[in-house]
Amino acid sequence: MTGPTRASIEARTLRSDRWWLAPLTTFVVFTAFVIYATIRAFMGRDYYASPYLSPFYSPCLGDCVEGASDFGQPFQAFPLSAALLILIFPLGFRMTCYYYRKAYYRAFWLSPPACAVAEPHSAYSGESRLPLILQNIHRYFWYAAVLVGAVLTFDVFLAFRAMPAEYAVGDGETSGIHMGLGTLLMIINVVFIWLYTLSCHSCRHVVGGRLRHFSKHPVRYKLWTWVSRLNTSHGRWAWYSLFSVAIVDLYIFLLAAGTIQDVRFF
């Protein structure tokens, strides 16, 4: 796009580095994740290998398999996969995330594809009108994401329960505290989920916004400095948590389908 603020050069960019690598990588990884998550969300099975519950289906509020619902099944009559009841919240949170917006605007809409690279579109309305003005809903999704994070943390505690014989290696004890590779993966996932959620720009505003004087709010100031520090790596937490959530789901899927057995530590 050319305009009054752009130097009048014919070339789309004068950059000679591999500026296209980042948006191309984003495009490939996002596309792969969306395809995988969509398939898994609509499958409606193999999401629970006791005591592990896939994060795609947690909390399981629909017509879920035995043992998967720790908060009841208030939507038992829902005819589709139980994941569809819950995924709207983490999905909405990520779709409206400031970091992901930058990433997918560049990768999918080339708007612009990279710094100092002209975009192919001739008009730009920003996020000031429909539909992109709806991105402002992000701050409300943040509250839902905190709830989802709390539920996933609860799932980690449940993942220390004993595993029934059909999923376990060895004698398949059914009592006591146990830890397997699934537990470890769920711990790693929940750590990344919290790092991502707490480093959110909206979280930063929740803890430190709308204040005239930090000096009169020392606790909020402290929280704001912590969140600000996390916020500098928000993009990294966004990627790590995306990978970890898919890896945990895949591991539980393979367990529940009987393809693999859990690796037990104790």
108-147 footprint of ligand FES as x/- string (CB under 6 A): ------------------------------x---------
Question: Which H helix or E strand runs over 155?
Answer: helix 138-158
- Helices and strands in the chain: count of H runs, count of E runs: 9, 2
- Whether the CA torsion 100, 226, 221, 153 is positive or negative: it is positive
Check residue 168 for interaction with ligand FES (CB under 6 A). Answer: no
Check residue 200 for interaction with ligand FES (CB under 6 A). Answer: yes
Query: Minimum distance between the CB of residue 201 and ligand FES, rounded to whole angstroms?
Result: 4
In whole angstroms, how far apart are CA 153 and each of 85, 150, 215? 19, 5, 34
Check residue 98 for interaction with ligand FES (CB under 6 A). Answer: yes
Residues numbered 224-243 forming contacts with ligand FES, rule: CB under 6 A: 234
Judged by beta carbon, residue 98 or residue 226, the one nearer ligand FES is: 98
Q: Which of 193, 176, 170, 177 is nearest to 248 (CA)?
A: 193
Bridge partners of 177? Answer: 161
Judged by beta carbon, residue 183 or residue 197, the one nearer ligand FES is: 197
Let me know: does 227 contact 197? Beta carbons within 8 Å: no
Query: Minimum distance between the CB of residue 100 and ligand FES, rounded to whole angstroms?
Result: 6
Check residue 193 for interaction with ligand FES (CB under 6 A). Answer: no
Interface contacts to ligand FES, rule CB under 6 A: 97-99, 138, 200-202, 234
